[in-house]
Chain A
Amino acid sequence: MVDLTKNYFELFELPVSCQVDQQYLSSQYRALQRAVHPDRFAGDDARQQRLSVQYAAHVNEAFNTLKQPLPRAMYLLKLAGRDVDMERNTIMDPEFLMEQMALRESVSAIRSTANPEQAIERLAGQADADIYQYLQQFEGFWLAGTEQDLEQAETVVRKMQFMVKLATELDQLESDFLDD
């Protein structure tokens, strides 16, 4: 039914790539989901039911990994034999951290600015632009594919993680304002 040994791209019959056809991914996802949905196996034995739950979880995990650029990039590195260990790695280049510090300072100052919505929009725009730029960089390194390139790709993924986190915080802040 679902071959658990296939990688996520193979599972959805997609080429292993930085760019993913989102429409195709979604339609493949829906088809697989229908095929493995536990409700379809309600009348079957316990083993078959357990398997279908396992398959469904696998399909969901695969979809969520490929849908968003950051987990997709991390997965591509994993396929290339590099597990990005976010927990232990702390040192980053000082210039990048200075920028991050300044960005965070701007975010924390949003509440006291005259036009918070505008400030959020501006910062969110910057975060999106940075994420896009990191994706481009990542693709270049990933395509080049030597050990050195992949190491660079890993650094880019770490930076992307910071910006994704910032974007998420800005989203939260925006919805807080809309609630007020």
Chain B
Amino acid sequence: MAYSEKVIDHYEHPRNVGKLDQDSQRVGTGMVGAPACGDVMRLQIQVNDEGVIEDARFKTYGCGSAIASSSLATEWMKGKTLDEAATIKNTDIAEELALPPVKIHCSVLAEDAIKAAIDDYRAKQKHDAAPAA
């Protein structure tokens, strides 16, 4: 199967690979897995006081499309507010990367990872704001 140029570019030069401090209050971590191909994806965001995502990192074990999808997701999330980032759809990712139908689940994985990271961050803030027991 031929990969699109954009997939190959992200695969060969992945953006924002790495890890942020999972325990930091500013960091949200999303982990998802795709049983279909055994892919595992970790996507993290760091949010500033204005609620803007100032950094995003990922680590993905999986095929080229899964790596490209998460790489692109981190690129798109940076500089966005949480609400803006939450609107990123798997179909946008699939379209941008010209993913073939059999690889659509890779973009689904990336969208779920984005949502999971945002949820994790928001849960942390809520927890933080709760009165001490």
Which A positions have Cβ atoms within 8 angstroms of B?
A: 86-92, 94, 96-98, 100-101, 104, 108, 158-159, 161-162, 164-166
Contact = CB atoms under 8 A, between A and B. Distances in A.
B31 A90 contact: no
B31 A98 contact: yes
B35 interface: yes
A161 B38 contact: yes
A86 B40 contact: no
A108 B59 CA distance: 12
Interface in B45-100: 59, 61
A90 B69 CA distance: 14
Contact of A165 (B37, B42, B105, B112): B37
Contacts of B109: 90
A117 to B, nearest CB: 22
B17 interface: no
A91 B61 contact: no
Interface of B: 31-38, 40, 42, 59, 61, 105, 108-109, 112, 116
Nearest to B113: A90
Q: Summarize A's interface: helix, strand, loop or mixed.
A: helix
B29 to A, nearest CB: 9
A97 B105 contact: no
A162 B32 contact: no
B112 A90 contact: yes
Contacts of A90: 32-34, 105, 108-109, 112
B61 A101 contact: yes
A166 B105 CA distance: 19
Nearest to B33: A92
Given A91-B112, A97-B42, A98-B31, 19 more contacts: A87-B36, A90-B33, A90-B34, A90-B105, A90-B108, A92-B32, A94-B31, A96-B33, A97-B31, A100-B40, A100-B61, A101-B31, A101-B40, A101-B61, A104-B40, A161-B35, A164-B38, A165-B37, A166-B38
A162 B108 contact: no
A97 B42 CA distance: 9
- Of listed B32, B40, B59, B116, residue having the most chain A CB within 10 A: B40
A159 B33 CA distance: 10
Contacts of B61: 100-101, 104, 108
